[in-house]
Amino acid sequence: MAARKRNRPGDELRVGSRVRYRMPGGVFEAEVVEDRGNLGVNGRRLLRIRPLSEFTDGPFTWPAEELLSAE
């Protein structure tokens, strides 16, 4: 029987999920707008997120493992 794939932090996030990301100035809310796949360092999953703040441009790319669910 094949071993069950271990879940990584952020695996539960999907397009449309509300998330929080940390910046040096604090923690901000965003929405996941695109799953870019496992393109990151050591195959980590990358997501495009759109900040919910009207004062921040976006979307930009963030590793899923560094995002927290805000739901």
Residues binding another protein (CB under 8 A): 21-24, 36-41, 43-44, 46, 57-63
Three-state DSSP at 24 gives: coil
| CB nearer another protein, residue 1 or residue 54 | 54
Q: How far is the CB of 33 from another protein (least distance, A)?
A: 10
Would you give the DSSP letter of residue 40?
S
Rounded (10°) CA dihedral 60, 64, 67, 69: 110
| CB nearer another protein, residue 18 or residue 44 | 44
Q: How far is the CB of 71 from another protein (least distance, A)?
A: 22
| CB nearer another protein, residue 1 or residue 36 | 36
- SS3 breakdown of the chain: % helix, strand, coil, rounded to 5? 10, 40, 50
